[in-house]
Structure formats: structure tokens, C-alpha cells
């Protein structure tokens, strides 16, 4: 599995944050706490980096993803009761738009931390 150790390290940081804060806060609170925890673990990240979205090679707007970790993994956070298929589709669309191979969708809003590893199937190794 590609980037297994890195994704496990990010998930471990998220588990520590969720274990400390629990559920019920707004997404930005978890985002700030996760930034602190990833920094403690020596992970290099960029938070809320704005990226252009193109359609037919024309710039049609921008979107911000919560984190890009080690320039390899896109991390999208949620703080909702339950992840839905639409959230997974959003994460997959971001991977395709940013031409990244692997991402994580992490939800802090449920009683137990929820996470999905997302693959961009358009990138072939």
C-alpha cells in the first residue's frame, strides 16, 4: 500500500486529537489541533493551501483543502455526525483536481473517529 506509514502517522495524530477533544467542536478547532499534533510528530504540512480548479484547461475557480502533508497526502477534515458518500466523492474530486494519488478523509464529529483512505484511480503507477 502506497504511503502506508505516512497515512498511518497522520491517522494516529487524528486519533490523539479526537481522544483529547472528543466530538462536538467545529471543524476549525480540529484543524488547529491536528496542525499542532502533526508538528509534534515532525510532519511537514501546508494548511488550507488554495489551489486552482481547471475545466478544459480554463481556470474556473479555487478550492482550499485542509492539509497537504509531506507534499504527498491530501487531508480533508469534517466535523459531522456521519460521513456520507458525497463527502467521499468530494475528497476523490479534490485528488483528481490536484493530481494527487492518495488522500485521507477524516471525520471528528462522530463518537469514534472516522477516516477513509482515498485513491485517485486516474493515476497509474
> pTM here?
0.92
> Going by DSSP bridges, is the β-strand pair 102-107/45-55 parallel, antiparallel, or unpaired?
unpaired
**Which pLDDT score is estimated for 1?**
67
Structural domains of the chain sorted by starting position, each given as residue range(s) with its CATH number in brackets: 4-119 (3.40.1350)
Q: Is the confidence at residue 125, as pLDDT, over 70?
A: no
- The mean pLDDT of the chain is 93
Q: Over the stretch 42-101, which tens digit does the pLDDT of each residue have? A: 999 999 988 888 889 899 998 889 999 999 999 999 999 999 999 999 899 888 888 899
Close Cβ partners of 93 (under 8 Å, ≥ 6 residues apart): none
Residue 51 is inside which H or E element, if any?
strand 45-55
CA dist 55 and 119 (Å) reads 21
Q: Determine the distance from the C-alpha atom of residue 110 to the mean position of all C-alpha atoms in its chain, rounded to a whole number.
A: 16
User: What is the DSSP code (8-state) at residue 82?
Assistant: S
pLDDT at 82: 92
Question: In 3D, which of 1, 65, 60, 70 has the Cα closest to residue 38?
Answer: 70
DSSP state of 74: E
Residue 60, judged by CB atoms within 10 A of its CB (0-12, 13-18, 19+), counts as exposed
Amino acid at each position: 500500500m502506497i504511503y502506508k506509514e505516512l497515512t498511518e502517522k497522520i491517522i494516529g495524530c487524528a486519533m490523539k486529537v479526537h481522544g483529547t477533544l472528543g466530538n462536538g467542536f467545529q471543524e476549525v478547532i480540529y484543524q488547529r489541533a491536528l496542525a499542532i499534533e502533526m508538528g509534534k510528530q515532525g510532519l511537514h504540512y501546508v494548511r488550507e493551501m488554495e489551489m486552482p480548479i481547471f475545466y478544459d484547461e480554463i481556470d474556473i475557480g479555487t478550492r482550499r483543502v485542509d492539509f497537504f502533508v509531506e507534499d504527498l497526502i491530501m487531508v480533508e477534515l469534517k466535523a459531522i455526525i456521519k460521513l456520507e458518500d458525497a463527502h467521499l466523492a468530494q475528497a476523490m474530486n479534490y485528488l483528481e483536481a490536484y493530481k494527487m494519488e492518495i488522500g485521507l478523509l477524516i471525520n471528528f464529529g462522530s463518537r469514534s473517529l472516522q477516516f477513509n483512505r482515498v485513491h485517485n484511480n486516474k493515476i497509474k503507477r
